[in-house]
A and B are shown apart, each in its own frame.
Chain A
Amino acid sequence: MSTMLERATAAGIPIHEFDLEHDPRWGVDPHAVWDEATKIAPLFYSPVNRGYFVATDYETVKGVLRDTAVWANTPTTTIFTEREVRLNVPPLSMDAPDHTVYRRAMIPLFSPQVLTPLEPGIYDLANELVDDIFAKGSCLFTKDFSSQLPARFFLGWFGFDYGDMQRMFELAEKATFEFPTPEIRKQIEGEIEGLISGLYEYRRTNPGDDLATAMVNMRVNGEPIPEEVLVPMGTLAFIAGQETTSTQLGYIMWHLARFPKDRRRLIDDPALIPDAIEELMRVYNTGGPSGRTARASGDVDGVQIEAGDRIFIARAGADRAMAADVQLDRTPNRHTAFGLGIHRCIGSHIARIEMRIALEVWLKRVPEFSIPAGFVPTHRYGSFMQQLNSLPLEIPGLGSPHRAAA
């Protein structure tokens, strides 16, 4: 059997080291690395990190995500880890036909129609977090707001009316960014699974109007979901419901802190906030699930694909390459920040609501803010996304934010 490198060479696509593990620029200016990758080619081969193809433009990314006959999510591995780590996060780590029935069971819980009643609670939470920041007298946005809002909202909606919310958020972060080896992953998953099992047990005897109650009562093909599938499904919800929206909000506020004209525009016209969120998701696409493994022979842009081949979907680069400038009212805006195809983010509707409410409340109550002089942004890249490590904000009337990276 020929290697990926041989077939890449035969097809004449570039060979370029795209190093998700060791390139120090990921920590300094990840967006520059994405932009560089899109300039190499729509598809190239990277021999580092155990080798993978890299898709960098919208059409190639879309083609791969659509071609589920060739590109599978089983196994779901990550490309940047020291050793191969296989993730058990159904239905994301499933393929059709299993994926189809599980996704269909889950999707009504997250459909736009059922989410509107949740909005007042999110407004209250956003206001409460701003109150806390004023009471404390300083603001580390990532720690005090963007990580708190999605975590506290989502854990409550999930069914946790007890427990250590801070620890639960830390676990979601670890499960996103901190598992170089299968052993470490297993340890983090173990702790999360313990929390999820406990929640299911609690909700079986204390049913509520929450996701956990809905999930324990869910039927797939007429049968309850076996615990060994239901628990990792809860793990995925636990991680994705907290960490993703938090990370995206961090980047959005980083932009608004650096570009006062854009901030002023949203303050003057809050109706523009939904479009602005789409545009800032395009420009600061946080990455998303990292790759696919071929389960059959196929073809991408003229390159012969064999079962076992790996591909990295550089969605952040592809989205940025659509337009170089930031235009808050851009329409249409076909970014891929929520993914494409059958594994599209199931939580996109609630994420959009959370981000809209966050910006509405924040800009109304904290219209003036800036980044402290001398602040040097740092980023990190993990299994599901890239993240701005910390964002201190200076707010008139408040003291200096804590400078240390959180």
Chain B
Amino acid sequence: MLEKEKVMSETRLKYVIDDSICSGHGRCYVLAPQSFTADEIGYGQVIEKTYSLQQRQEMENLVVSCPEGAISIETVEVV
């Protein structure tokens, strides 16, 4: 990989919902409507976007607010 390409790639964060665990409490899209939405019957859906590493703490506060523990944070390389 060229040095130049390395510099341009950035590690960012995103939310992931485990659909097999989500039971539709709806806390995610109530507490963070900018990051989550509801599907047609009220189960949580991730709005596709990424967050900077500095936002991890804020994201973790949301993760622990899910009563089922269905939300996690994954890293993504964004070019």
Using a CB–CB distance below 8 Å, which chain A residues touch chain B?
62, 104, 107-108, 110-113, 331-336, 338, 340-342, 344, 348-349
Contacts and interface: CB of A to CB of B under 8 A. Distances in A.
Contacts of A62: 69
Contacts of A112: 26, 30, 38, 42
A113 B69 CA distance: 23
A124 to B, nearest CB: 24
Given A334-B66, A338-B67, 5 more contacts: A110-B42, A334-B67, A340-B23, A341-B23, A344-B67
Given A332-B61, A333-B65, A336-B67, A342 B38 contact: no
A107 B24 contact: yes
A107 B22 CA distance: 14
Given A108-B40, A111-B38, A344 B25 contact: yes
Given A107-B24, A336-B67, A340-B23, A349 B61 contact: no
A341 B38 CA distance: 18
| Top 5 A-B residue pairs of the complex, sorted by shortest distance between their CB atoms | A332-B65, A111-B42, A344-B23, A108-B41, A332-B64
Contacts of A333: 65
Interface of B: 23-26, 30-31, 38, 40-42, 61-62, 64-69
B24 A334 contact: no
Contacts of B24: 107, 111, 344
A338 B25 CA distance: 9
B23 A331 contact: no
B26 A349 contact: yes
Contacts of A111: 24, 38, 40-42
A341 B65 CA distance: 15
A118 to B, nearest CB: 15
B41 to A, nearest CB: 5
Contacts of B62: 332
24 contacts: A62-B69, A104-B41, A107-B41, A107-B42, A108-B40, A108-B41, A108-B42, A111-B38, A111-B40, A331-B65, A332-B61, A332-B64, A332-B65, A334-B64, A336-B67, A338-B25, A340-B67, A340-B68, A342-B23, A344-B24, A344-B25, A344-B67, A348-B26, A349-B42
Query: Chain A CB within 10 Å — which of B38, B42, B65 has the most?
Result: B42
A111 B24 CA distance: 9
B56 to A, nearest CB: 15
A311 to B, nearest CB: 19
A332 B59 CA distance: 12
Contacts of A108: 40-42
